[in-house]
Amino acid sequence: GQQVMQIPQYQHVQEGEDFTTYCNSSTTLSNIQWYKQRPGGHPVFLIQLVKSGEVKKQKRLTFQFGEAKKNSSLHITATQTTDVGTYFCAGGTGNNRKLIWGLGTSLAVNP
Amino acid sequence: EAQVTQNPRYLITVTGKKLTVTCSQNMNHEYMSWYRQDPGLGLRQIYYSMNVEVTDKGDVPEGYKVSRKEKRNFPLILESPSPNQTSLYFCASTLLAGARNEQFFGPGTRLTVL
């Protein structure tokens, strides 16, 4: 079946270092969404990418959608302790009915 | 305040004792769904509802039931809970059905079945 692979599973960084998580799909996606879940919290929507090659920025966060619409990345510049949490990607299937979720990348930031 | 609420937030129960987890949203969203989250397995969809009286199975529906009698409410029912249903459960809603709509999640219900 359709899958969205997300790597790495865990990442430990020093505060101020950069961080990137990647999502790769076995099939072409219609769109991709990114969510953040703080420890003990619930997933919160960050952004959606729809167009091939799209790049969006939110302050220190940069989101990219690949040209083939099969992969995406989230890059955080100069991490802060407030970035701690698990980041999930979720890709829209071709018929636009359902999201396929990645397993998430857990980010820990040492102050 | 626009939100999705779930109750209870925490529940410890025993095998076989029927329970219901309530979910309510105040955003007039059409689409609602239930997920369970387990370590290493991410978010897995249990059931979803595209509108009142319209429900369908997600990826892991076994052992669960749902109903959608009103637009705002989408309760999750475990008729005979078993220990493998110990998990963190999230209800979510979106304005419309479809993968291009932002999902709003409830705060979660942590269920332990002994």
Beta strands in chain A (DSSP E): 4-7, 10-14, 19-25, 31-37, 43-49, 55-58, 61-65, 71-76, 85-92, 99-101, 105-110
What is the phi-psi region of residue A26: left when phi exceeds 0, alpha when psi lies from -120 to 50, beta otherwise? alpha
Mutation pick from B57, B100, B104, B109 vs chain A, by most beta carbons of A within 10 Å, is B100
pLDDT of residue A94: 65
Q: Are A100 and A70 in contact (CB under 8 A)?
A: no
pLDDT of residue B100: 78
DSSP state of B73: B
* Residue A5 sits at the chain B interface (C-beta within 8 Å): no
Q: What is the pLDDT of residues A55-107, one digit of tens each?
A: 999 999 999 999 999 999 999 999 999 999 999 999 998 666 678 999 999 99
Among B76, B55, B53, CA closest to B65: B76
Contact A88 B42 (CB under 8 A): yes
CA distance A22 to A26: 13
Q: Are B41 and A88 in contact (CB under 8 A)?
A: no
List Cβ neighbours of B62 (8 Å cut-off, separation of 6 or more).
none
Greatest Cα-to-Cα distance within chain A, rounded to the nearest angstrom: 44
* Residue B105 sits at the chain A interface (C-beta within 8 Å): yes
Q: Apex CA B99: angle with CA A33 and CA A94, to 5°?
A: 105
Q: What is the pLDDT of residues A10-59, one digit of tens each?
A: 999 999 999 999 999 999 999 999 999 999 999 999 999 999 999 999 99
Amino acid code (one letter) for A41? G
B111 vs chain A: nearest CA distance in angstroms?
Answer: 14
CATH (residue range A4-103): 2.60.40.10
What is the phi-psi region of residue A35: left when phi exceeds 0, alpha when psi lies from -120 to 50, beta otherwise? beta
Q: What is the pLDDT of residues B75-108, one digit of tens each?
A: 999 999 999 999 999 999 999 877 778 999 999 9
Q: What is the pLDDT of residues B14-73, one digit of tens each?
A: 999 999 999 999 999 999 999 999 998 999 999 999 999 999 999 999 999 999 999 999
pLDDT of residue A14: 98
Domain boundaries, chain A: 4-103
Among A80, A60, A72, A78, CA closest to A99: A72
What is the distance between the terminal CA atoms of chain A, rounded to a whole angstrom? 41
